[in-house]
Amino acid sequence: MKICVAGAYGAFGTKHLEGIDAIDGVEVVSVMGRDAAKVEALAKNRGIGHWSTDLAENLARDDIEAVILATPTQVHAAQAIQCLKAGKHVLVEIPMADTLADAKEVLRVQKETGLIAMAGHTRRFNPSHQWVRNKIEAAELTIQQMDVQTYFFRRSNLNAKGEARTWTDHLLWHHACHTVDLFQYQTGEVPSQMHALQGPVHPELGIAMDLSIGMKVDSGAILTLSLSFNNDGPFGTFFRYICDNGTYIASYDDLFDGNHEPIDLSGVAVSNNGIELTDREFFSAIQEGREPNSSVAQALPTMATLDRLEQLLG
């Protein structure tokens, strides 16, 4: 399978390229990025034969079957639609859109074309969260509360690699999206109650730097989510599953019990890399002609919840 990675030299584009390196039968033959010097250097360093600063040029190639979009949030929906209309399967990094209307349009075009369209909800694929889900499906535990902290120090516009961004990140539509989707995925329910509060808006970035979200589903499970771009300390997202049968702390691909003793995740998946596992699901769904886990159809309820939260924030 020959694919294109767009946004290839960014933080997550790099992670996807590294994940694909571990997957047999898939070759990156084209990369796209807005900075010509950076994307050309990446292509040369990795021995990739084609690069472009215009996605339309990449999509015009007959040999490309699928595209991974690791581009800025604000263009996700438009580019996903562009890929589908060009006849390419597409995996779009989260969020699939930054408005509910645009997310619905992505789904409409996916249904129209019949191609595979998947949103990169990596938390569904991290071995740590897969382990918890397996326990839930085996009726070995029930979530009472998910207590989640998403912390960064981003008072200037930098990406996860510490490099300057040309676009602005968003606590609600990007970072809360991970956890809202995971909460709905693990409980199998859409929240019936929710509230949200945000702190002051940054005078230059134009976004709220602190956000608090609470949710409850009808079965009784609640989500307590704190997000900040003001946290000066270790960054990342830390999930605490408080369950009827134990407490579990997940940090990306690692899992600990409530006393911070590590839990053996060997055997949960073929890899310990959540992004690689996301990509594997995408490629497998294409090869098998099936709906992937985290399809845009499955991701739409998360977009609807984020829209409700945005309305609460005013």
Distance CA 164, CA 158 (A): 4
CATH 3.40.50.720 residue ranges in the chain? Answer: 2-121+275-294
CATH 3.30.360.10 residue ranges in the chain? Answer: 126-268
Angle between the N-to-C axes of helices 100-113 and 296-313, in degrees from 0 to 180, rounded to the nearest 10: 170
Distance CA 313, CA 39 (A): 38
Sheet holding 254-257, edge to edge: 193-198, 210-216, 222-228, 143-151, 236-243, 246-251, 254-257
Q: What is the pLDDT of residues 225-277, one digit of tens each?
A: 999 999 888 788 999 999 999 999 999 899 999 999 999 999 999 999 999 99
pTM above 0.75, yes or no: yes
What's the CATH fold of domain 2-121+275-294? Rossmann fold (3.40.50)
SS (H, E, C) 70-113: CCCHHHHHHHHHHHHHCCCEEEEECCCCCCHHHHHHHHHHHHHH
What's the CATH fold of domain 126-268? Dihydrodipicolinate Reductase; domain 2 (3.30.360)
Q: What is the pLDDT of residues 184-207, one digit of tens each?
A: 999 999 999 999 999 998 888 788
Positive or negative, the CA dihedral 125, 128, 130, 136 is negative
